[in-house]
Each structure stands twice: as C-alpha cells, then as structure tokens.
Amino acid sequence: MRSEDAPVAAAPVPPLRPPRVDPGALAAKLARIQPQWPKSRYPVAPAARGIDCRRVKCVALTYDDGPGQYTGKLLDILARYNARATFFVVGQMVAGDGPNNLRRMVTEGHEIGNHSWSHAQLTALSDAGIRGELGRTQQIVHYMTGRWMTVMRPPYGSTNQRVAAVARSKGLAQILWSLDTMDWRDRDSVVVTRRATGATPGSIVLMHDIHGTTVEAAPHVLERLTAAGYTFVTLSEMYGKLTPGKEYFGETEPARQAAGNGRTSDRLKNKGSRT
C-alpha cells in the first residue's frame, strides 16, 4: 500500500491533432476578413444552364484558329444575343493574344477547345509530336484560365487512331462538324450568313474568328437563327458528358459522312489558308 504522500502518475496526454481545414474555404474566409488578401486570378464561369437539347432546338456555333484581332468584337456580338459558343484556340495565338479574351470567354459562359499549338496536321506527326501540340495548348490555357479543356478539334479535320489515342489520354473529345460555312475560303459575310443559317437542330457549325467577314456575319446569323427558335449552346451543353477520344460530328448522319469522307481531304489541299 502506497503512502498518502507518494506522487500520483499523471494520465498520458494524447497528441494534439490539427483540425482538418479545406484550403479553399480558409482562403475565402480570410478574404472576407482581410479585403487585401489575395484572391484567385482565375475567372469564374456562370452556373450551368441545364439545357435539354432533346427538347430544345439547339445549335453549336464553333470558331477556330483564334484568339485574334476580331475575337473581342465577336464576344461583344454574342453577348448582345445571350449566345454561347465554343472557341477552338491555337496555342501560338493564345500566347500572342494574352489572357483577356480567354478569361472573358470563361466568364461569359463560352467553351474553350484545343486546336493544337501550331495548327499542324496531327496525322503527319509522331505520337510525341501529337502530345506536344495538344499538351502545350492545354498548359497555356490552364495557366491563363485555371481550366483544363475537355474538347479538341484536329486541324483540317485530320484525325486517326493515333490522334484519338493521344486525345483520349488527355481527356479530350474530338469535335468535327456537320455544317462547314467555308468562311476560310469565301471571305464574304453574305455567303457565310446564308450557309450558317442553314443549320438544323443539333448542328455543329464551323467558322473562324480570325476572319473579319465571319465576325461581320455573326449578328445576321444570330438574328436569323434566333427568329427560327434556336438556342445557342456549347458542345458540353449539347452533348452533356463527352467521351475522351470519341469523334462528334453533329446530329445529322449525311453531314457526318460528308465530314468524314470529303472535307478533310479538301481542307488539306488548302493548307495555305488557316482552317
């Protein structure tokens, strides 16, 4: 039996564990407390619209090869009509243009797609070359916007199993088209308007925001298709979940065959023009 004066052993104290903290929530809390606290430099996209293109007449307007000197004007026009589009950007053009147009695309609900770094014919490159063309463009767009692209369009519509495999590895669905306005060849806003307004529900319309005549046609295209009851959607809005590596042509089977059988070769004959 121990003496009353003997020391009593203290109970072991468990080690302190810091509480789990969500870094994003902490940063937001500190930003509210301290207005000078640095906030994210990345743009914030609007909430998803939840459009069901099985019930609504949808059309996807797509613009390739930018951003360039006319892109800002095109964004102004799209904003007036509350229209959303998909921009397939070239990495070199992004590097020269800077972040402003890309960040505006995000904040106004447009979709950004990968159109390679240098507009190279991907099927003529090695696997490493394809990875470089797509990977560099993924990186620069992510650096400027904080977003990873999930769609790509192979330059000239030229793709094969190797391109599909690289696209799949990078989480990119391949987007072709069902309606080619040929605006890269016919620099006439009236002609571009007439061809673009021939869209049917589910059409993917191919245009280029590097051509002033295409941007001049934009308000006429938007006005006429709006009057015909169309809603202008991004590719992700049209299809929902897109499968990486898979090719999407729009909803019209004859157009799918035309895009697959004729247009790629025609466009490769005209490599001198940006397409």
pLDDT of 181-240, one tens digit each?
999 999 999 999 999 999 999 999 999 999 999 999 999 999 999 999 999 999 999 999
Largest CA distance in the chain: 107
> Is 220 noted as a catalytic residue in this protein?
no
CA dihedral 112, 113, 116, 118 (to 10 degrees): -40
Give me the pLDDT at residue 17, please. 66
**pLDDT at residue number 22:** 73
Which positions of the chain have pLDDT values less than 50? 253-267, 269-273
The catalytic residue among 110, 115, 119, 208 is: 208
And the tokens for 131? 């990875």
76 as an active site residue: the answer is no
Amino acid letter, 109: G
Amino acid 272: pLDDT: 42
Predicted local confidence at residue 258, as pLDDT: 43
247-248 and 173-175: which strand pairing? Answer: parallel
Contact 183, 211 (CB under 8 A): yes
Q: Token match 């040929």: residue?
A: 182
**Letter for the amino acid at 63?**
Y
Residue type, 119: H
The pair of three-digit structure tokens given for residue 154, joined into one six-digit string: 């192979």
What is the reported pLDDT for 135? 98
What residues form DSSP beta bridges with 152?
114, 174
Give the active site residue among 64, 65, 97, 180.
64
Cα 80 to chain centroid distance, Å, stands at: 21
Q: What is the pLDDT of residue 169?
A: 98
Give the model confidence (pLDDT) of 227-252 as tens digits.
Answer: 999 999 999 999 999 999 999 999 75
Provide the phi-psi class of 65: left if phi over 0, else alpha when psi is between -120 and 50, else beta: left
Single pTM value for the model: 0.81
